[in-house]
């Protein structure tokens, strides 16, 4: 693993995420492995480089999405029985409305 994990307040959840990379205008579809109010681990093989930025759209449900930007903070290169290959990302440029929705959504999953 390279870099530092962002948050320990994570919930394992497979949520569809569309990434738009600076080098490619077409979105790339994958899934999260876990998510927190401030970051997410995205399944990606190979993972992007630490420091890379991208736009994202999280498809929480068919009628609710959250969008913003993210930065790769750490990479997980070797898949294990507990963690797939991918990258830990910090969320930013997320609207206040989307941040509040994400916090409430994650809190509802902890019940």
Secondary structure in 3-state letters for the chain = CEECCCCCCCEECCCEEEEEECCEEEEEEEEEEEECCCEEEEECCCCCCCCCEEEEEEEEECCEEEEEEEEEEEEECCCCCCCCCEEEEEEECCCHHHHHHHHHHHHHHCC
Tens digits of residue pLDDT in 8-59: 577 888 999 999 988 888 899 999 999 999 999 999 999 999 999 999 999 9
What is the pTM assigned to this prediction? 0.87
Say yes or no to pLDDT of 94 above 90: yes
Rounded to the nearest 10°, the torsion over CA 84, 8, 99, 3 is: -60
């Amino acid at each position: 693993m390279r870099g530092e994990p962002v948050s320990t307040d994570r919930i394992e959840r497979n949520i569809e995420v569309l990434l738009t990379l600076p080098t490619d205008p077409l979105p790339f579809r994958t899934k999260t492995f876990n998510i927190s109010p401030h970051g997410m681990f995205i399944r990606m093989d190979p993972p992007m480089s630490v420091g890379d930025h991208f736009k994202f759209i999280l498809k929480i449900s068919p009628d609710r999405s959250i969008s913003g930007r993210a930065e790769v903070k750490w990479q997980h290169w070797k898949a294990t029985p507990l963690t797939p290959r991918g990258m830990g990302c910090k969320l930013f440029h997320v609207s206040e409305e989307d941040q509040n929705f994400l916090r409430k959504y994650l809190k509802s999953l902890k019940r």
